[in-house]
Structure 1
Amino acid sequence: MAFTYIPTSQNPRVSGETVDLATMASFLSTVRRVYLTIYNWMVFVGWFQVLYLALRTLYETDYTHVYHAVEKPLQLAQTAAVLEILHGLVGLVRSPVTATLPQIGSRLYVTWGILWSFPETRTHVLVSSLVISWSITEIIRYSFFGLKEALGFAPSWLLWLRYSTFFIFYPTGITSEVGLIYIALPYIKASDKYCIRMPNKWNYAFDYFYAAIVALGIYFPGGLHMYLYMIGQRKKALSKSGKKD
């Protein structure tokens, strides 16, 4: 029996499978870009609303009313960031989860574990500095990634803002976070909220007050690590941009 060699390029079955795989890869890439574009711009709108409401409230009344004005959009926009952890885990984005998780986790803790849980903290001036720092940072970040996903590029001035404004807004934001946790401590201790006391069927105890103190202790080394990490990311991003130019 004679066998005839058919080159891969001329084999209709192999060629068809290759085309199908390429088509599928292209389709999935398009779906990814569309999804991330929609996600980034939706969260951008949320943070823009937070900033607008905060500034309008400060102009019309004072800082004691800021939280009430921004509460719902703040909670929605910040909680939506949980999806970014999933994006990193499944490979939709290249951002390492080890960098994303601590930042999102700390913000969710302040949003829900402090401000939402302890209303006594909501009228402090640090709420205003927190909200403004977070919202400006996120407006820049989400518009940057929204444009990159939609168009494949972002303007150089937005790239510079994305990797430079943290010099100001990261310290003001993290200082506000630490300050609000500290302010909440006496209310946490007095309320006994989220505490698990012994005895119980799990034979386990948890004190939210001491957990908050531990969180405060983590902020300094964690914040310094993130700050240095962002400086490193800035050098990489701006150097790449300079080479392209």
Structure 2
Amino acid sequence: MASSIDLHPPIHWGQTLHNVSLRVGLTDVKYPKIDINESSIKFQATGCSGSRGEQLYSFEIELYNKIDAKASSYKISDREINVNLKKNTPDTNNPWPRLTKTSAKLPWLKADFDKMTFSEDESDHEQKKPTFNKNFDDDIYKSFRQDTRRTKPKGLVDLRTNWLLFYNLFQFMAYLWVFTRLMIHFMVNGHLKNGYRIVENPIKLCQSLAILEIIHPLIGFTKGDWLSPLMQFLARNLILFVVINYNHQIKPSPIISYLFLVWSFVELFRYPYYGIRLLNKQSRIITWFRYTLWIILYPLGAFIEGVIIYKSLDYYHSNRYFTVDLPNKINFSFNFALFLRIYLVILPLGLVQMMQHMWNQRKKALIKKNE
């Protein structure tokens, strides 16, 4: 086992009668090179792990036993890389005592005992338990017993999943209500004026609750990045709670309704996508819409936000809202209208970065990875 690169991603491995599984803890994976042969697996990719940011990671593992390379596969998702290695023969009474051929301990390689199952007649309603024989590595067995004591109760895991399902369902239903209410308003009146008055409270509630998408990865409820949700949360709430909320001249304008329609239409596919992933399900239609609609809606939304800010410049310049003038006790000045002008310059740069990020996510989600 050797690697020319010092950075190794965290790996958890497990096994069943017929397969060995590897869970590589990397997000935002780019340029993956994965080579699986009958006796080893080689990996190299750029990605993020923990607080390191984007780095180049690699590993090479010489496997404990030979596998069927042709029947093995891997899948790259937003949160991790899952590798499935097909054993040549089932190991009913002889599970692999370790993943590697040698007994050297690797700090970045750990056993995933939730996936150590060897009994073929286990009930789906019973907790699967690993069976070990005398050949199983003593250190791994001790680690298993310690992990069993430390493992969170199943009820806690179910509570987390149920909460995330509830959150995604609530946000989906709320944005569906906003979108539907604005469309009904348009069909009845033939215009979208005063749309803000109709959906003000639900859209504010949705955008306030979005702070949970920053908290969830920070407390370990999800494995995603917290920085991207933070940037979107700050940008949208600047527009909603500050620029629009205090500008009484622009509130009746139909452009506000256009913005809310774009925001809500994006979320009508984002939250269901997260929901089906929590249920370990897949929907090609929802996935396609989730990673395709943004190509049009993100630039459109950014354009509308820019127009709203531009039309609000004179209002905030003349009324001096959120502006701090000198002299004052803290000897500090702040011109909110100037800040909005600077934000208009930064807005396209942020859009380009977000588009690049989403395009990389789209390639990983919609383009199949083959050996």
Length-normalised TM-score, structure 1: 0.87
Tell me the residue number matched to 1:3. none
Give the paired residue count: 232
- Which residue identity is paired with 2:350? G
The equivalent position to 1:65 in structure 2, one of 163, 177, 194, is 194
- Which residue identity is paired with 1:78? Q
> 1:15/1:145 Cα in 2 relative to 1: closer, same or farther (>3 Å)?
closer
Shift of 1:165: 0.6
Which of 1 and 2 has greater Rg? 2
Distance across 1 between alignment mates of 2:220 and 2:365: 20
Shift of 1:27: 4.0
Distance across 1 between alignment mates of 2:253 and 2:192: 7
Do the aligned partners of 1:188 and 1:209 also contact (CA within 8 Å) in 2? Answer: yes
Shift of 1:142: 0.8
Do the aligned partners of 1:114 and 1:121 also contact (CA within 8 Å) in 2? Answer: no
- Seq. identity, %: 26
Shift of 1:56: 1.0
1:211 aligns with 2:339: yes
1:102 aligns with 2:223: no
Distance across 2 between alignment mates of 1:19 and 1:237: 34
Shift of 1:31: 2.4
1:89-168 map, 5 Å: 89-149=218-278, 151-168=279-296
Distance across 2 between alignment mates of 1:92 and 1:10: 28
Do the aligned partners of 1:133 and 1:173 also contact (CA within 8 Å) in 2? Answer: yes
State the SS of the aligned residue for 2:323: coil
Tell me the residue number matched to 1:233. 361
Shift of 1:100: 2.0
Tell me the residue number matched to 2:213. 84
Shift of 1:230: 0.7
Distance across 1 between alignment mates of 2:139 and 2:340: 63
State the SS of the aligned residue for 1:63: coil
> 1:70/1:202 Cα in 2 relative to 1: closer, same or farther (>3 Å)?
same
State the SS of the aligned residue for 1:41: helix
> 1:9/1:128 Cα in 2 relative to 1: closer, same or farther (>3 Å)?
closer
Q: Deviations over 1:167-221 (max 9, x none)?
A: 1111111111111011111111111111112222211111111111111111011
Structure 1 stretches of 4+ with a deviation exceeding 4 A read 7-11, 14-17
Q: Deviations over 1:53-110 (max 9, x none)?
A: 1111111122112111111111111121111111232332233223222222111111
Q: Deviations over 1:117-172 (max 9, x none)?
A: 112112223212211111010111011112222x2123111111111110111111
Distance across 1 between alignment mates of 2:305 and 2:322: 20
Cα RMSD (Å) = 2.2
Do the aligned partners of 1:129 and 1:172 also contact (CA within 8 Å) in 2? Answer: no
- Which residue identity is paired with 1:210? L
Do the aligned partners of 1:57 and 1:65 also contact (CA within 8 Å) in 2? Answer: no
Do the aligned partners of 2:266 and 2:294 also contact (CA within 8 Å) in 1? Answer: yes
Shift of 1:45: 1.2
- Which residue identity is paired with 2:300? T
Gapped regions of structure 1 (runs ≥ 5) = 1-6
> 1:146/1:10 Cα in 2 relative to 1: closer, same or farther (>3 Å)?
closer
State the SS of the aligned residue for 2:322: coil
> 1:54/1:91 Cα in 2 relative to 1: closer, same or farther (>3 Å)?
same
Shift of 1:8: 7.6
Tell me the residue number matched to 2:298. 170
State the SS of the aligned residue for 1:64: coil
> 1:97/1:18 Cα in 2 relative to 1: closer, same or farther (>3 Å)?
closer
Do the aligned partners of 2:194 and 2:253 also contact (CA within 8 Å) in 1? Answer: no
Shift of 1:16: 6.2
Length-normalised TM-score, structure 2: 0.59
Shift of 1:25: 5.7
Shift of 1:112: 0.6
Tell me the residue number matched to 2:103. none
